[in-house]
Each structure stands twice: as C-alpha cells, then as structure tokens.
Structure 1
Amino acid sequence: MEYNEFKISDDPSLINLDTIYEFLQKSYWANKRPKEKIRKSIENSLCYGVYHGEKQVGFARVITDYATMYYLADVFIDEEYRGNGIGKKLIEAIINSEDLKDLFGHLCTKDAHTLYEQYHFNRETEKVMIRQPDFLRNR
C-alpha cells in the first residue's frame, strides 16, 4: 500500500530488526525485551512495516490464528515522522487486510485509546480494546 511517499508492506524481507529493537528499547511496554526475543516474535508473527524510501519508519506486529482473532502489538511510528497520518494508514492497512478484516481484533494500550477508537476498537478495560469483525459490525 502506498501513502504519499511512504510504503506500507507485510513483506518480511523488508523488516529492519535493528530499527525495531532501537524503538522498542525506548517504549514503555518492551524496553526490557532482549533483541533475540524481538527477532523470534517477528519471525512468528504477521508484521507490517512503514518505509520512507529504504528507511523503516514504522512497525506493527500481528499475532493471529487467521480464523477467529488477532492481537495487535508493538505498533510504532518513528518520532520524526509522527503527525503525518502514517499511523492511521498503518492501522487501516491492518484492519482492512483480507486476512484480518473478519476476525476479532485485540490490543492493549496505555495511551492511544482515541487512535484505536477511530477504527472501531472498543475499551473492555482500562488497557484492553477489542474490535468486532467487519461481518458482525456491518450487519
């Protein structure tokens, strides 16, 4: 998917482990996660990257059974690129993908509720949000 001068892709060959590790070390949710554990989590998940030319500027990891549900994790946009709508386009690419649009979506967030609410994720608890599949929500 193209968005302005950015590319959003689930091609695993484009993923830059060093960029992801660097960002996650600054995050509140994964700053203690070793690089090897991050590598393994990427290898065992459906991952989306956001690229500006050759530079990776965003990321999201999806854990799924491809039948009933997915869990959205490790979402980030490089601080230099925030405010350009890239995070919104990344979430749109994920929730509208053929593999995920008809599955229940789950995520945890401490501070991004308003972003995810725009995409029909509803708060279940203070941190947990759930999105009904398109086929149920669009009856």
Structure 2
Amino acid sequence: MRHADYGDYFISDDKRRLDEDTIVAFLSRSYWADKRSAERTLKSIANSRCYGVFAADRGQIGFARVITDGATMYYLCDVFVDEAWRGKGVGKNLVAFIVEAEEHQGMSGLLATKDAHGLYESYGFVRDSEAYMRRPPQ
C-alpha cells in the first residue's frame, strides 16, 4: 500500500480508508456519474484500484479510481476533490500520485474530461478528441 502526506491532507491507496457514503454522494452530483446507482458505484470501487484523499479534520476530501489490465493500460476515472479543497493543489497531487505509481509505469493511460484538460496535460496526457485524453507509456 502507498501513502503520501501533504501536510493538511494525505493520499492513500488503502481501500479500507475509503468513505463510501462520501464517494457515492459526490458522484451522484457529478456530471459523469449522476445517473449511476449507489450499488453500481460500490461495485466499481470493489473492482478497481482506488485512491482516497483525506484531511484530518474533514475525513475524505477526494477520490480517484483506476481500471487496468495491470500490464498495458489504465483508465483514470471518477476523479473528484471536494469543492472546499479545490485550488490548493490537491487534484494535482492526486493525479501525480497515480501516474507516478510504479504499477502504472510503462502503461498507456486514458481518461475522459469535459473541463480539466490543463490539469491532465501537465502529467503527460494529450487530447485525443474533445473529451478523451491518452497518456503514452512513459
């Protein structure tokens, strides 16, 4: 398991730390998962690599999920940071934590976004279309 401390918050890939209620609630308000049932979200967590961001005084403040074959590619999805924590580098650190992970080295990365192209471009993703981006193996 990996863990990184950033002072006011930390990032972990330990699924036992995840607050599933927080994740379901946030995703139910998102533009990409607002039609997804809570049961489907929980199943997606169970079947994916997951990354949580946690603040000592607030609990879970961010999340991301990775779907992968473990060899050639990964799909980064369901990335969110609580509104109160945006603009503080949390999203940047979360993406860096994921793309720099040893288990993702040498793999192609994929994702879809409507509004965060700049964030992902700074981590090697390139636009493939209006919404999709890819990251060639590094």
Query: What is the Cα deviation at residue 123 of structure 1?
Result: 0.4
Cα distance in 2 between the residues matched to 1:120 and 1:59: 20
Pairs aligned (count): 134
Aligned to 2:31: 28
Paired residues for 1:57-76 under 5 Å: 57-76=61-80
What code does the residue aligned with 1:103 have?
M
Q: TM-score, normalised by structure 1?
A: 0.94
- Name the SS of the counterpart of 2:103 in structure 1: coil
Aligned residue type for 1:74:
D
| Alignment-derived partner of residue 120 in structure 1 | 124
Which residue in the other structure is 1:137 paired with? none
Q: Please list every run of 5 or more consecutive structure 1 residues that lacks an aligned counterpart in the other structure.
A: 135-139
CA distance in 1, matches of 2:27, 2:88: 21
Q: 2: distance between equivalents of 1:128 and 1:4?
A: 33
Deviations 1:82-127 (A, max 9, x none): 1110000000000000101221000001111011011110001111
Q: Distance in 1 between matches of 2:135 and 2:105?
A: 10
RMSD: 0.8
- Structure 2 residue matching 1:41: 3-state secondary structure: helix
Tell me the distance in 2 between the aligned counterparts of 1:101 and 1:2.
22
Q: Following the alignment from structure 2 to structure 1, what is the Cα–Cα distance between the partners of residues 101 and 43?
A: 23
Q: Given the alignment, which residue of 8, 13, 16 partners 2:16?
A: 13
Q: Which residue of 1 aligns with 2:44?
A: 41
How far apart are residue 5 of structure 1 and its match?
Answer: 1.7
Q: CA deviation at 1:62?
A: 0.1
SS of aligned partner of 1:31: coil
Q: Which runs of 5+ in 2 are unaligned?
A: none
* Alignment partner, residue 104 of structure 1: 108
Alpha-carbon shift at residue 30 of structure 1 (Å)? 0.2
State the identity %. 53
Query: Equivalent residue for 2:94?
Result: 90
After TM superposition, what 4+ stretches of structure 1 lie above 4 angstroms from structure 2? none
The alignment partner of 2:87 has SS state of: coil
